[in-house]
Structure 1
């Protein structure tokens, strides 16, 4: 498959899955309703987030929120897309990771433009062992992308060490 087509399709896939899930949540759940999927461990809770990760910045001045949660992320996402298109020597794992990050980021920026806030709905609470804030598919895409980049960096640095040894 053509590399640029692969990049485009993967980014669009991430955006589409996120946006479809948010439409389903908005049309089937009641705001702040708690739906147990797996007991109290995994729940769906529809909330709207005017801030960034875990609501950070939601009480920020509207102008600052525009700059830090809309303009700056849009510029960064534009650069990420430019970087992955222009950097032909990226390994496949890093390429997929950057596409997940870009797709998730674009999906949340779209929410901020279209609705002035981001729809979140997943909540995990493993009884004091692990607990998340309420998040969405876009957040999951960005997080998975970051973890993949970390593994790619570790894997590639070990590969370079083996070659130079």
Structure 2
């Protein structure tokens, strides 16, 4: 694989995404008391009660789904499958030269976020989540981390670019 500007861009986005996520998780683990069934942990308001930090260990996937799966299924669904999918997506973005920069950024963000969370599952057996948004019941998230934010942002960009590209195609 030749390292041109495009390849360097992809690698840089992936590495920065992983680094920022892992650094944020180290800071949270070292400085915010873990929330458990017994201990409510700390809640640190960032913007009143609308945007809060806390330390939660997630043994499942999105919103804790899969935490009660048996160990074999958990390995298959939360480690093997994501690694396989991330590998295919990575291969796709290096091979498909027709992707625009926004789509490359989006895919690289998704891959970086995915790798960061898979790394946590391999090394710690769980993922550290720490951000929570509650806009007075109108909009409320589960507890998430920066890797989740990267994956979500990447997906939103891909959806937006898909609509933009469809509009361009119709105009042609």
Using the size of structure 2 for normalisation, the TM-score is 0.93
Residue ranges of structure 1 left out of the alignment (5+ in a row)? none
* Distance across 1 between alignment mates of 2:55 and 2:114: 19
Q: Which of 25, 29, 54 is matched with 2:28 structurally?
A: 25
Counterpart residue number, 2:133: 124
1:9-158 residue pairs with structure 2 within 5 A? 9-32=12-35, 33-158=42-167
- Offset of 1:7 from its aligned partner? 0.6
* Distance across 2 between alignment mates of 1:37 and 1:140: 17
* Distance across 2 between alignment mates of 1:3 and 1:127: 43
* Distance across 2 between alignment mates of 1:68 and 1:144: 22
Counterpart residue number, 1:5: 8
- Offset of 1:105 from its aligned partner? 0.3
Q: Which piece of structure 1 moves more, 32-41 or 55-64?
A: 32-41
Q: What CA deviation, in whole Å up to 9, does each residue of 1:128-161 have, x standing for no partner?
A: 1000000000000000000000000000010011
| Number of aligned residues | 163
* Distance across 1 between alignment mates of 2:137 and 2:8: 43
Residue ranges of structure 2 left out of the alignment (5+ in a row)? 36-41
Q: Secondary structure at the match of 2:116?
A: helix
Q: Secondary structure at the match of 1:46?
A: strand
RMSD: 0.7
Divergent runs of 4+, >4 A:
none
- Offset of 1:2 from its aligned partner? 1.2
